[in-house]
Chains A and B, each alone.
Chain A
Amino acid sequence: MSRSPIYILELVEEIGGYLEPADLACCVQVCKSWQEGFAPVLYQHVYLHYSPRRKMSLWTGFQRHGRFVRSLFFSASDLPDLELFGSDCRLLTTLTLKPLYYVNLPQQWSSRLRELIDHNPSIHTLQLHLYKNLYQILFHEQNILRRMPALKHLVIMFDQYPYSTDIDTYGVFEAILECGSQLESLTYEVSGKRPRNTAKVESHATTSRVTQPWMALSSLTIHDQGGLRGAELVRRCPNVRHFKANLDTYDIGSALLQLAQHHSSGHPSCLEHLEISSVVGTQVLAALEKVLKVCAESSKLKTFNFPSSCMSTTMMDTLLTYHAISLEKLVLINPTWADRLDSCRLFRLCPRLRHLETVVWSDMSYMQDLVRSPWVCTDLRFLHLTVRQGGSKWKWGEGAWEWVDDLSAATSEYQGVPTNPEQVMAIQRQFWRQLGELEKLETLHLELKSTGTRFGKHFSIEHEDIDKLGGLRRLMELWVSQEVDFMSAPVKKYLKRRIPRLRIRFQE
């Protein structure tokens, strides 16, 4: 093999790009020249899950190949000394640290991290999962972010709610504010809810302080139920393109108004992706409507992800009026959403829609509506349908929750709904056939949620229904909920045979 692409570096990189790590690991064992060619690809992304004390021999490997490592994921109880990483490990661009347990020697951990960071000035992406006793050391005593000149993407995740004690003064948020102007994307996630009996912490930075806007920041993800940090961050970022938030009611309201405010104060909106979770409240809804209207003047939404039960027909109208033409991804999955999605209208107005997650109802009135109108969007690549059984649910209306016990009694549309089992089966069959017309579909999630037995006819898929589904040549993944298994084994087997590369998975 004198002339083989295997000896040309760029080609080896390209070939290696199509191989999984397990295959690459075999390639480096073939011979010395293959090792030389494939090792840089194999060691480009390294995942370390070990306790370094137990696996000393791994570190000799790191020392030999450290110069190839660009992205390092490290999850262990303690961080090794820089010497173990080897002096060649100086070209890292992405560093992810996830301490396995409560860190025993935080001072040592911190000083070693500083050394590693100083040794790798080209790190542009830092992801930190923070433990309680690390906050102070990494951020308050000395802000490590200031030692990272190339930092552009920052992800900070807390293992627990940090504001219950005086940890608040450890100033992680302040540290982020200090380096914000160099960032292009920021994720700040606090998991868990604020413990009871703790005061809500107002943001450290007073809103009156004038700061330079962070012009480079285009992606902002914030998950924090504890204060006004969402609004505080949005206030600094006039050019947000991707905004994802899970904040408490007051904070999200202010944050949304702040987005609209940027637009009216000389920074035309760049917003394209909007994802908002857990919103309750009329004021917040008003703020969201305002954002949809104001931002549309200079930017059109591609993603609207609003899995909230507060989603309403009015909001849907606003969304479609201002953003239908650009919408590519729509997620409205909260099963308590009472209003029904007019899928037919949605598909007609949104020519670019590729990704839809929504709830449909297995009761016959809804099914009849679905199959009566040609609701198919042939360009859809991803579809997640939560099929709901049962009639009762919580409904958000007139600013309060109300329990609608029996939907059929509450609405007049239910008159003339078929109850005869044969008719019911025919409608369901039609529904499956229509799914089979989504010819570009790559992923299909089907989830069945049952809340009552008012509409006792089981939603199911039978052998004779799936002929059309079997014709979906591009379908690669089919997810089926395990709560109610409505797809029998022969049906799955048949689908596997018709679409050989299909993977059928189960959702917990």
Chain B
Amino acid sequence: MKVTLESSDGQVFTVDKEVAELSVIIKEMLVIEQANQDHPIPLLNVGAVELAKVIEYCEHHRNDPTIDDDEDYDSRKKPIEMDDWDKQFTIVNKEMMFELILAANSMQVKPLLHLGCRYAADIVKRMSPTEIRDLFQIDDDFTPEEQDKIEWEKQWTKL
């Protein structure tokens, strides 16, 4: 069975129902609006470019077993296990990746969300605050006194 999805800028995508159902939000919508499937499902927060990418991801992972979040809580400490396809998929610039994370978040595509967040965490790992600021073009809005305070505070977490 097919489902149609409409991006925020009005583009319509037709996908298999089981692919679309990787999104928790769409799955729930389909249950509620069973009778009303002729109309495309509007995704107000997701642009066409991102939606295409999300669909690409879901197509590839359509047959994955569903991961129980609670059961696998230790997995986040392990090194990221991505297959080659996932690695290719994440070769995009960070702005695109962040848009994807936001799209995955609003559509609740959990595995893509985890993948994206790990990607984001990997970017800032072992970077100094200055390096992070340079990378994301963020202005340092702390006064020197505030900066000193933070220096002190971070000592009482186990470093």
Chain A contacts to B: CB under 8 angstroms: 1, 3-6, 8, 10-11, 14-32, 34-35, 42-43, 45-48, 50, 55, 57-58, 60-62, 64-65, 476, 501
Contact = CB atoms under 8 A, between A and B. Distances in A.
Nearest to A47: B158
Interface stretch (B26-34, B51-59, B84-92, B124-132): B124-132
Given A58-B152, A61-B149, A10 B105 contact: yes
26 contacts: A1-B136, A3-B98, A4-B136, A5-B105, A11-B117, A15-B117, A18-B121, A19-B121, A23-B121, A24-B157, A25-B157, A25-B159, A26-B127, A29-B129, A31-B141, A34-B138, A35-B150, A42-B157, A46-B156, A58-B152, A58-B155, A61-B153, A61-B156, A62-B156, A64-B153, A501-B79
Given A47-B158, A65-B153, A30 B121 contact: no
Contact of B128 (A26, A34, A476): A26
A30 B133 contact: yes
Contacts of B117: 5, 11, 14-15, 17-18
B44 interface: no
Contacts of B132: 26-27, 30, 34
A350 B156 CA distance: 47
B113 interface: yes
B150 A58 contact: no
Interface in B49-99: 76, 79, 98-99
A5 B98 contact: yes
Interface residues of B, number: 42
Interface string B107-123: 00000011011101110
For the complex, would chain B's binding face be called helix, strand, loop or mixed by DSSP majority? helix
Contact of B147 (A26, A29, A42, A43): A29
Interface of B: 76, 79, 98-99, 101-102, 105, 113-114, 116-118, 120-122, 124-129, 132-133, 136-142, 147, 149-159
Contacts of A48: 156
B102 A5 contact: yes
A30 B138 contact: yes
Given A1-B138, A32-B142, A11 B156 contact: no
Nearest to A59: B156
B157 A21 contact: yes
A269 to B, nearest CB: 24
Given A30-B133, A61-B156, A5 B116 contact: yes
A62 B76 CA distance: 27
Contacts of B128: 26
A61 B152 contact: yes
B157 A46 contact: yes
A17 B76 contact: yes
A-B complex: 10 closest residue pairs judged by Cβ atoms? A61-B153, A18-B121, A25-B154, A47-B158, A29-B129, A14-B117, A5-B101, A58-B156, A15-B117, A21-B157
A28 B140 CA distance: 11
